[in-house]
């Protein structure tokens, strides 16, 4: 059966960005203001947050794909670290209404820990199905071949990768990063099962329901539908726009709140 429509990586990222802005606007402009006391505004905020549940699974998928295809994971990780540090104060201003909000750290820290968890799993398991583009050597015909051999049978490798993610998930939990332990684990699952779409769909659907344990989980599952329409193409646009957009949109939301006196 031919899929009538599909999405490139750039299109999925743009959907995630729009969803994220709607979610953060609900937090910064409604939940963190007197508007939350009104029934209509409260319902509006809930609807906006439902839309916002689509964002993180898509960003997690982008990290999984980035880990698989980036030429240099070190630079990738350093970019995420720099973005996480720069974005923390803007995030705190929106999420907590203060310059310092220790109860919740921004999502980029979770994405970084997820990338590191994937990397650790590759180092432990060898290449196999989880080899990254950056861990391949050029061949004479211009292609690339994997370096090393799989150290474990495939049926065990999945569990080993999940176990390798535990320290990074615990770091997310104790650092109180957004989405925490479960967010890191979702990235590892999406990476490990990226060549098995049917299994990935089933596992991620159950995982997201368990992650939220309410109707927000159903909203998050919309992201699975979008991921399954990924065509494997990068698409046009600037691939690094997220690095500027993330902190700036938080500052804009904070600025709007101050301007209208919410």
Which pLDDT band holds residue 261 (cuts at 50, 70, 90)?
Answer: confident
- Spatial contact of 16 and 58, defined as CB atoms under 8 Å apart: yes
Would 197 be classed as within a structural domain?
Answer: yes
Would 210 be classed as within a structural domain?
Answer: yes
| pLDDT in the model for residue 38 | 73
Enter the pTM of the model. 0.88
Which pLDDT band holds residue 134 (cuts at 50, 70, 90)?
Answer: very low
| pLDDT in the model for residue 126 | 80
Would 24 be classed as within a structural domain?
Answer: yes
| pLDDT in the model for residue 156 | 82
Q: What stretches of 5-72 adopt beta strand conformation (E)?
A: none
State the chain's mean pLDDT as an integer: 87
Would 96 be classed as within a structural domain?
Answer: yes
Which pLDDT band holds residue 41 (cuts at 50, 70, 90)?
Answer: confident
Instruction: Provide CB contacts within 8 A for 110, sequence distance 6+.
Output: 172, 177, 178, 179, 180, 183, 184
| pLDDT in the model for residue 4 | 65
| pLDDT in the model for residue 132 | 41
Lowest mean pLDDT among 1-10, 92-101, 166-175, 200-209: 1-10
Q: Give the span between the Cα atoms of 166 and 128, in whole angstroms.
A: 21
Q: Give the span between the Cα atoms of 116 and 113, in whole angstroms.
A: 5
| pLDDT in the model for residue 3 | 54
Domain range for 53 is: 9-260
What are the pLDDT digits (tens) for 93-133? 998 888 888 889 999 999 999 999 999 999 998 854 344 43
Residues above pLDDT 90, as percent of the chain = 63
| pLDDT in the model for residue 154 | 74
Would 3 be classed as within a structural domain?
Answer: no
- How many structural domains is the chain composed of? 1
Indicate the pairing of strand 144-146 with strand 136-138: antiparallel
Which pLDDT band holds residue 145 (cuts at 50, 70, 90)?
Answer: very low
- Spatial contact of 8 and 233, defined as CB atoms under 8 Å apart: yes
Based on C-alpha coordinates, what's the Rg of the chain?
19
Mean pLDDT value across residues 62-86:
95
Instruction: Provide CB contacts within 8 A for 168, sequence distance 6+.
Output: 113, 114, 116, 117, 120, 184
Query: Per this entry, what is the length of the chain?
Result: 262
What are the pLDDT digits (tens) for 222-243? 999 999 999 988 887 776 788 9
Would 190 be classed as within a structural domain?
Answer: yes
Would 65 be classed as within a structural domain?
Answer: yes
CA distances from 58 to 7, 114, 124, 174 (A): 12, 13, 26, 24
- End-to-end C-alpha distance for the chain, whole angstroms: 51
Which residues are 60's β-sheet partners? none
Would 37 be classed as within a structural domain?
Answer: yes
* Whether the predicted pLDDT of 139 surpasses 60: no
Mean pLDDT value across residues 71-88:
96
Mean pLDDT value across residues 38-43:
80
């Amino acid at each position: 059966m031919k899929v009538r429509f599909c999405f490139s990586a750039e299109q999925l990222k743009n959907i995630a960005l729009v969803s994220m802005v709607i979610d953060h606007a609900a937090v910064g402009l409604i939940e963190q203001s007197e508007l939350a006391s009104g029934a209509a505004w409260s319902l509006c905020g809930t609807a906006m947050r439902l839309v916002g549940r689509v964002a993180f699974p898509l960003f997690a998928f982008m990290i999984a794909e980035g880990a698989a295809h980036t030429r240099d994971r070190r630079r990738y990780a350093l970019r995420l670290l720099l973005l996480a540090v720069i974005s923390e104060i803007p995030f705190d201003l929106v999420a907590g209404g203060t310059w310092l909000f220790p109860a919740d750290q921004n999502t980029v820290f979770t994405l970084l820990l997820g990338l590191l968890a994937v990397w650790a799993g590759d180092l432990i398991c060898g290449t196999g199905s989880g080899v990254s583009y950056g861990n391949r050597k050029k061949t004479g015909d211009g292609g690339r071949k994997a370096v090393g051999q799989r150290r474990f049978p495939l049926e065990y490798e999945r569990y080993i990768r999940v176990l390798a993610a535990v320290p990074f998930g615990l770091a997310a939990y104790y650092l109180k990063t957004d989405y925490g332990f479960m967010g890191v684990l979702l990235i590892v699952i999406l990476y490990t099962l990226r060549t098995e779409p049917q299994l990935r769909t089933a596992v991620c659907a159950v995982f997201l329901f368990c992650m939220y344990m309410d109707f927000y989980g159903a909203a998050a599952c919309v992201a699975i539908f979008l991921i399954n329409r990924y065509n494997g193409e990068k698409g046009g646009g600037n691939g690094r726009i997220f690095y500027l957009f993330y902190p700036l949109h938080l500052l804009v939301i904070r600025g709007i709140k101050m301007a209208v006196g919410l």
